[in-house]
Structure 1
């Protein structure tokens, strides 16, 4: 699949177009959550949104491009939380409570984002979308390194990058685990993961 196949064909420039664009994304997110990516088709999105295929294809060439846009929006929200927490770290330093706050907010952002859990799972399961996931994880890794420059000073750039990237992967695993196992105690899982984060940041 070419990179162009994952991009929107047309960015909405008018209020009405924005509504159509958002309707497509919102409908796709709901179907993704209910039925999963394999059963998601542009025809189903059109039927559920009450629009014709030509109207959808004005903006998206295929379902991968739709999911790509949904994923980019989710990843932007997730990564913005890391930036937000940076000021707290500079003011208060690293603590267990702060790590718990970071992880809890990542879980909340993903769960509250339309189709968030389905998007996260699909990014790991769909090779065509791997580059989006990898790019976002690299951005999150760079955010961690920017928030904690002492990590690179202590470990060296390569080792610090590897450790920060590991934390990103563990964090995403936590979000998926909580989403797929609602019977588990999310507070315990978040607290235990915060301890893992602290161990790797202080080691």
Structure 2
């Protein structure tokens, strides 16, 4: 007599993560001077606390304590610590991006390798100095790379700079495919950003690093031009 086959229970379905991404947008912008001062004090306290304790240990309670504000006062503008980092990240990216317009132009790109090397070296050094002059600058950079919720700040900023530089290259090098110029622009943007991070991580001479990096980048753009 055949033995009844035992039914094997189906494995339970894999759990689906329901953790929502943290809110990053500020709840409101201050409308009055006193509120604006509180807003800026909170951001300054967040940057200083970030320097002391790092991204993981940063908390709204620590920021409130340093800023001398109550949690409700902070939460009026920022829902969590990631919103604080998001705002600090956007501000840092804006300062870094302002360096690009100072150094890059159609005339520079058409001026040959020496002019392009000088501009790229100047851009890298200015970006480094802008970051160094920003309270918690390097920690903000690291947070935008390490924290998934904040990576979009960096990527969106780099995409905007890439598009602007691609337009310059298209004007300066009309005979080169736009796709090639866009890829070159994207790589240049990322390499400059990574080089700035490296200058904070290692004891290197910024001017020497900028000179070598600029030479490498300019030589490739010269090949594209040819």
TM-score (norm 1): 0.91
- 3-state secondary structure, aligned to 1:166: helix
Q: CA deviation at 1:151?
A: 6.4
CA RMSD in angstroms comes to: 2.0
- Residue of structure 2 in register with 1:16 after alignment: 34
The alignment covers a number of residue pairs equal to: 201
CA distance, structure 2, for counterparts of residue 110 and residue 89 of structure 1: 27
Please, which moves more after superposition, 117-126 or 80-89?
80-89
- Residue of structure 2 in register with 1:84 after alignment: 102
> Which one of the candidate residues 93, 102, 108 is aligned to 2:123?
102
How has the CA–CA distance of structure 1 residues 12 and 153 changed in structure 2, closer, same or farther, with 3 Å as cutoff?
Answer: same
Contiguous gaps of at least 5 residues in structure 2: 1-19
Q: CA deviation at 1:148?
A: 2.4
- Residue of structure 2 in register with 1:149 after alignment: 170
Return the structure number with greater helix share.
1
> What are the residue-to-residue correspondences of 1:8-157 with 2, within 5 Å?
8-87=26-105, 89=107, 93=111, 94-150=115-171, 153-157=174-178
Decide whether the 8 Å contact of 2:170 with 2:178 is kept in 1: no
- 3-state secondary structure, aligned to 2:56: coil
Q: Which has the larger radius of gyration?
A: 2
Decide whether the 8 Å contact of 1:145 with 1:152 is kept in 2: no
Q: Deviations over 1:70-119 (max 9, x none)?
A: 11111111111112224584598343222211111111111111211111
Q: Deviations over 1:26-48 (max 9, x none)?
A: 11111112221111000110011
